[in-house]
A and B are shown apart, each in its own frame.
Chain A
């Protein structure tokens, strides 16, 4: 099975981890990488193109509600 484009290699993930400011062990990084790959697989379900009506993130807009 082809590797999805969104999956990054553990080595690249390790580099990113170094820039987070977090103190992480190698075990942490391996575990977090697995979690990250899982999240990226989720993201493959997201539409590639968002329609204009999908722009708002604000819950109240759908409800016809305006926050004060």
Chain B
């Protein structure tokens, strides 16, 4: 693998700042890798190579003149194809929008461009970010770079694949019910679901507005922090956007973690029907590493994982149907087989049931907050086992095993996926760190400290 294509954002940015690297060189390195390997992995649905080269050369000119805009200036970034991009097709892997070319960028894309990031193109997604892969969708599914016979996880599937494969230094994902953390975990990259409301969702296709969260994916937690520095901020045109004092996330990730109190939620995954022995071992070993770093870890009890799953499914079901109702009624044939049925199910939920779920959500937020008392962070497994294959998933997969990322969508807390090794077959293991609302900095700091103390960021998939 080319060294330039696998540079972290932090490393590449430092080299760019010192004039020891050109943005056009790192961009060409990424484009060359995409050209060579993406026919097998399908990470990109639209590649904007000429625009990327022009942006990279512009970055080089500006940096040479002493006008460096910041850490993302000249850094190649991929964008999930549910983020609107001016003049570039944004289809959301839907036949309904396969010719949709927006006039403007999503607010987060505006921020990335203003920071001088080089946008390489649009990345594969599950249809409307619903989590379903079926052959009747417009684009082929992204494949896992650790084994292309397996899924990368979704719905930000192309984002996980592209970062792990060295096609881009960072990518944008979205997380309504684990859609950043699933592919982050199964592709062995870092992925942050920020606190709900920290990043604007304006210009991003909505799935369930009270859960939808935009977020960064990159090779390291430090890189996610560098992206978050650019992405976070109030947007008056996103009704969920929070007004918060700016935080210098990338500065905080080098702070010591001594004395951080972390509650380990083992009962969610360490049981007979839970995670594989490899996952349990990986998380246990990560606990030991964090203790060696000076963190104080204690096992804690949270509400039942199924409670979060139940709450999330009613709310997401109702909201997603409301978003897609007209198209479902007028053009049902334009939806994939599984997507259509998942969205149609919400039509049968009543207002009373939706309100009951929102009340339950409030209770779970309070109960989670109470259980976290005395702790800065909580930690749990990110996934139960290795990635899935491409066999047709159950239509209503969300009725099965409760997803481990769900609780932090229900509560709105920030949650980071951190790779903690590999199983006996070479597939990634990962845990989540979740923090208090708007304390994304502590989440990233602990994740970055763990990554620096372990060798897992040295291993890339062999393509």
User: Does chain A bind chain B?
Assistant: yes
Q: Is the CB of B359 within 8 A of A60?
A: no
Residue positions of B touching A, CB distance < 8 A: 195-197, 210, 234, 236, 239-244, 304, 306-307, 309-311, 313-314, 317, 328-329, 332, 341, 344-345, 347-349, 353, 355-363, 365-366, 369, 395-396, 399, 412, 437-438
Q: Is the CB of A45 within 8 A of B358?
A: no
Q: Is the CB of B197 within 8 A of A39?
A: no
Query: With a CB–CB cut-off of 8 A, which chain A residues contact B358?
Result: 57
In Å, the complex CA distance between A41 and B323 comes to 24
Residue on A nearest B355 in the bound complex, by CB: A57
Contacts A56-B362, A57-B361: A22 and B239 contacting too (C-beta < 8 A)? no
Query: With a CB–CB cut-off of 8 A, which chain A residues contact B396?
Result: 34-35, 38
Query: With a CB–CB cut-off of 8 A, which chain A residues contact B240?
Result: 59, 67
Residue on B nearest A51 in the bound complex, by CB: B363
Contacts A46-B356, A67-B240: A24 and B344 contacting too (C-beta < 8 A)? yes
Query: With a CB–CB cut-off of 8 A, which chain A residues contact B306?
Result: 42, 45
In Å, the complex CA distance between A18 and B420 comes to 50
In Å, the complex CA distance between A62 and B437 comes to 9
Nearest-Cβ distance from residue B296 to partner chain A, whole angstroms: 25
Within 8 A of B (CB), among A15-55: 16-17, 20-24, 28, 31-32, 34-36, 38-39, 42-43, 45-47, 50-51, 53-55
Query: With a CB–CB cut-off of 8 A, which chain B residues contact A38?
Result: 396, 399
**Told that A28-B341, A43-B353 touch, could you supply 7 new A-B pairs with CB distance under 8 A?**
A22-B332, A38-B399, A43-B310, A50-B363, A57-B362, A63-B195, A67-B240
Interface size class of chain A, counting residues whose CB lies under 8 Å from the partner chain? 35 or more
Residue on B nearest A19 in the bound complex, by CB: B347
Q: Is the CB of B347 within 8 A of A22?
A: yes
User: Is A68 interfacial (CB-CB < 8 Å)?
Assistant: yes
Q: List 30 A-B contacts (CB under 8 A).
A: A16-B348, A20-B344, A20-B348, A21-B329, A22-B332, A23-B329, A32-B341, A32-B345, A39-B399, A42-B310, A42-B313, A42-B314, A43-B353, A45-B306, A46-B311, A46-B359, A46-B360, A47-B359, A47-B363, A53-B362, A54-B359, A54-B362, A55-B362, A57-B355, A59-B196, A60-B197, A62-B362, A62-B366, A65-B438, A67-B239
Which residue from B243, B314, B361, B362 sits with its C-beta under 8 Å from A39? B314
Residue positions of A touching B, CB distance < 8 A: 13, 16-17, 20-24, 28, 31-32, 34-36, 38-39, 42-43, 45-47, 50-51, 53-57, 59-60, 62-63, 65-68
Q: Is the CB of B344 within 8 A of A22?
A: yes
Q: Is the CB of B307 within 8 A of A36?
A: no
Query: With a CB–CB cut-off of 8 A, which chain A residues contact B353?
Result: 43
Residue on B nearest A8 in the bound complex, by CB: B348
Residue on A nearest B364 in the bound complex, by CB: A54
